[in-house]
Structure 1
Amino acid sequence: MGFLNKIIWFLILIFPAFPIAFFCAFFYIWCYCFEGCSNCCGPIAEFFLKCVRLPGTSVRGMFDGRSIC
Structure 2
Amino acid sequence: MEKYARRPSVEKNGGVLAVYLDGNLISHYYDPGLSLVSSVIKIGNHIFCDSVFHPYMLHLNIQQYPTMVVA
Measured against the shorter chain, the TM-score band is under 0.3
Higher relative strand content = 2
Q: TM-score, normalised by structure 1?
A: 0.22
Higher relative helix content = 1
Q: TM-score, normalised by structure 2?
A: 0.22
Larger Rg belongs to: 1
